[in-house]
Structure 1
């Protein structure tokens, strides 16, 4: 039996192999299409990308036609008039040779992009003479057509795929376009659609003679799906206008859903400059601007000490742990001493309880509450982990899971943090008390701050922030409709919210009220240090403000971070009031605040870090408004002096707009 088994297995295996080879070579010839078959030419039909709309159906991003000149190096004739060809396409002979060499490296037989993104007039001139240039043909593609000049950080951009991605993903070929950053990247597979493919049979003279197998394997292009974003386009535009001459981020959320209403980063740029043949040049300018960093989304990526807004969580955790109640009183003498000559300054004075501790932003009150929390267990390591778990239940200290491709964790320290900092032990509540007021090791991004306020507005729960509202024919990810509940009991939120309401009426944001809207908010000021000429120097503090409104049934939660802005109520606070009124009323009554914000320039503070942006210095198209100067709408070279002159000349006109 054993003697027969081995020969039998060999015969069976050989038979199966012969049958498979016969099937592939005689019956199923689709594998021929996947090889570099000289007798078959592949033509792609590229679909339009899906359109992008805001939450109300306003069109934000559409498409425009573009044409790539493709080349198959092997098919180029020796008698090609290179000089005439180069003149037609406005390139040099050196450019021609470099591009051909690159195409040969990719493949002498397969098509690759020779010259990308010709406009209609450039293409028309080439199309008239294309028959003279064998080996070259055009490929129609679809480029983005931005209907607005804001929201660049939200949209992202599209660019050609690189060789690594082509090798990794068989869908893409040389010259294909792919979304990068923003929703273009997050929803690439939905927006890109499906390419159509046609297989053309060629004869021995390389002439096209018709469809291969009568079009049996041909497919038609399927347009990308349209999407609606959660963004309020008018609110986004207004936020970017308010951030002129400033650096920082604004994030606004709808508390009941987690929908992102506005995601502002400053400085920004017109998304239209990253379309067409100038895209690469403009992107390079933006990328190498190491001062202003217009490609850096401060709303998602910038980690800052949150400052006084963090006191909200300090109070909630202390209430939950039972170490304070609403009547617990601490005496403040413009601060308090906490051992070994250490003193925490405070602008408050006299007895403070939870309510006035919040609206006066009393450092003493919250530092004492924090130390009671840490001292509760007679074990600082255990206590810090308990405190950390409470704080993390608000979505802090971790990636939030939103549907944008970039982000940072922030930092909420644990016992491991302090075991690493103090390997010999000896740390206690007084050592880490600065955490109580949002300093120390605590770091948060603006979107985390906004989510924190949305959670407080909801009295203990939140939904993962997201920017997708609707996908044509599809459901959005279920994780965006999953409720996350904090470890803080609901009963502890109302007294905190009452204190936040009086921040506007009696406290640090007095004077920033908006008629007819009950706003709950919290000012913040975070210390700011930077290395200048190799030395660590203290710069003007960051201005922070968080808020939600209305007090009952909140519809918007917002966080504003202004780098080097100073006290929270000076710059960030007015922006919060204006954004809230713009969203809820669709108009502005506090024009005094609007004038103050639009007039406020922090360029002199940023100059200490290295002067004006290199993009502004090198290549800038200036229009008659501050917004377009600062938003880096690049096209025409202008001197820095001219930019300054235009800013000075149009400052008043910009403020009096509409």
Structure 2
């Protein structure tokens, strides 16, 4: 009897196992009631994307706002379509797009939603919304896209686009997900954290057809999105529009700054483009077209292009010479054209006359006096020491490195060092005769248009500047901007030295830039003609006005337009009049600039 117990026990266990397996089969395979209940109680997690912050001009006019767009989402397991051709016709996509989108979604997840068609406009959505109920597994989510009521300031405002895999990797706080949009350039990129807002999450119950059955647990786990912060820019919309009009058909830059604050009133990169084309579903195609354009409209010239400053640098040379004591107002040199070419003007000239007449030989000789100070018995060593000491003084004017503008990718130009010439020519194998072109802003010296405008602000302020910036307040609070933008920076030149400089710049208007003169607004300016080995010279002009109470400092750079007193000076003069008067009283000059026939 005892021998039969193990057999009975084994039989009992086997019977229980068979019963359990049978029940499990019935539940999981034969009976789909549990599956239907799960499907009827599916919970979808929907991200509530916040509205990006708005951007205003300095007077409160809207520059950037949000427009609603829709993404058509697909859940592969629930999706089915009988007539593919009709589906593609209704939703205005190709069969290849449908297959590719469905395959990618299924690869990601068969039960989680993925985007099938992105950035559908309100007009396009109106055409398809009545057909959504016919296709299980499809639903729509809402997001917003940037819109620009005035198609200006594209290079300053920037644009947003879908986040890249590399950017996702750098997102240490895990804010972003694949398919999110992020600021990629301009203010949109630099102020991404302020503009993006805080995401919200909603959980809802849906049935197998994706029909909304209400919130999950009465919204207990839902969180509301928080819109991004609004930005008040320093840009004057009217001045920006006018500047872009004047630069139409030209290549170059205009940067206008309020000297007392460092606020950028206008920043123009020419040629430009309508920022509205880098929004919506055609972003990719339009971006590629702009990127292939030989005129480089995506190249932000005010902060990325570098040029020799030309004759405008003579003002910096004058101030450094005065501060060093090498120059005085009465220092006089002959216009010796055997040293360097010059144009016709009286000779000899003192410092005032050198600025007024933009005398090249004067600065050749003055710069040599600054560099070769006879601090060493070795001629090469003397030049090397003098160059490095001079360079330190130049850097204080905001040259030789980025100024710190609130935009990414700002270039800093270059002011050569003695080490640079050692590498190029060999140590001890270069002298003043090697570097004299620096005396007139040529040679290896490079600056950006933004730095040129900042120089004009320094001359207007008699020796100081504020870091140029494009945002003056966040949510209306000026104290929330970077404190660096409210910190005065001294250039190390005594204020009284600027009196002669300002007077000479005002007088120069009637010499090399007579077109820039305005009858009742005193402008102080300096022309430049930057040499271009690849074609016609570039036209350069910097100025500030009114001379005794500066409201605007400006730099204009027009490529291949020749003498600075023509294209650049005329453009700057019109911009100054537009900003100070609010209107233009010289239509003939305006027509001259718009025509662009400067040569």
1:373, distance to aligned residue in structure 2 (A): 0.6
| Mapped pair 1:288 → 2:288 | no
Per the alignment, residue 464 of structure 2 pairs with 461
1:412, distance to aligned residue in structure 2 (A): 0.8
1:517, distance to aligned residue in structure 2 (A): 0.7
- Structure-2 separation of matches of 1:109 and 1:488: 70
- CA contact 2:255–2:302 (8 Å) conserved in 1: yes
Per the alignment, residue 144 of structure 1 pairs with 146
1:214, distance to aligned residue in structure 2 (A): 4.0
1:524, distance to aligned residue in structure 2 (A): 0.3
| Mapped pair 1:73 → 2:69 | no
Distance 1:106 1:447, change over 3 A: farther
Kindly provide the CA deviation profile for residues 218-266 of structure 1, in whole angstroms up to 9, marking residues without a partner as x.
Answer: 1112122221110010100000111112100000001110000000011
Per the alignment, residue 491 of structure 2 pairs with 486
- Structure-1 separation of matches of 2:69 and 2:404: 35
Per the alignment, residue 366 of structure 2 pairs with 369
Q: Select 1:413's aligned residue among 416, 420, 433.
A: 416
Distance 1:112 1:425, change over 3 A: farther
TM-score (norm 2): 0.88
Per the alignment, residue 503 of structure 2 pairs with 498
Local SS of the residue matching 2:281: coil
Distance 1:276 1:205, change over 3 A: closer
- CA contact 1:331–1:349 (8 Å) conserved in 2: no
| Mapped pair 1:235 → 2:239 | yes
Which runs of 5 or more structure 2 residues have no equivalent in the other structure? 1-40, 377-381
Q: Select 1:42's aligned residue among 20, 45, 51.
A: 45
Distance 1:53 1:365, change over 3 A: same
- Structure-2 separation of matches of 1:496 and 1:106: 67
Per the alignment, residue 134 of structure 1 pairs with 136
Kindly provide the CA deviation profile for residues 273-299 of structure 1, in whole angstroms up to 9, marking residues without a partner as x.
Answer: 22222222221110111x210111111
- CA contact 1:504–1:520 (8 Å) conserved in 2: yes
Q: Select 1:558's aligned residue among 554, 564, 574.
A: 554
| Mapped pair 1:354 → 2:354 | no
Q: Larger Cα Rg: Structure 1 or Structure 2?
A: 2
Which runs of 5 or more structure 1 residues have no equivalent in the other structure? 1-37, 338-342, 531-538, 606-658
1:465, distance to aligned residue in structure 2 (A): 0.3
Per the alignment, residue 181 of structure 1 pairs with 185
| Mapped pair 1:251 → 2:255 | yes
Mapping for residues 374-389 of structure 1, pairs under 5 Å: 374-376=371-373, 377-378=375-376, 379-389=382-392
- CA contact 1:545–1:568 (8 Å) conserved in 2: yes
Per the alignment, residue 160 of structure 1 pairs with 162
Per the alignment, residue 114 of structure 2 pairs with 112
- CA contact 1:197–1:219 (8 Å) conserved in 2: yes
- Structure-1 separation of matches of 2:392 and 2:347: 32
User: For the aligned residues, what is the CA RMSD?
Assistant: 2.0
- Structure-1 separation of matches of 2:527 and 2:517: 13
- Structure-2 separation of matches of 1:106 and 1:383: 65
Per the alignment, residue 530 of structure 2 pairs with 526
| Mapped pair 1:87 → 2:89 | yes
- Structure-1 separation of matches of 2:329 and 2:302: 34
Count matched residues. Answer: 549
- Structure-1 separation of matches of 2:91 and 2:166: 29
Mapping for residues 566-577 of structure 1, pairs under 5 Å: 566-577=562-573
- CA contact 2:310–2:440 (8 Å) conserved in 1: yes
- Structure-1 separation of matches of 2:344 and 2:283: 51
1:473, distance to aligned residue in structure 2 (A): 5.6
TM-score (norm 1): 0.80
| Mapped pair 1:579 → 2:584 | no
Kindly provide the CA deviation profile for residues 60-82 of structure 1, in whole angstroms up to 9, marking residues without a partner as x.
Answer: 222211111122334434x5543
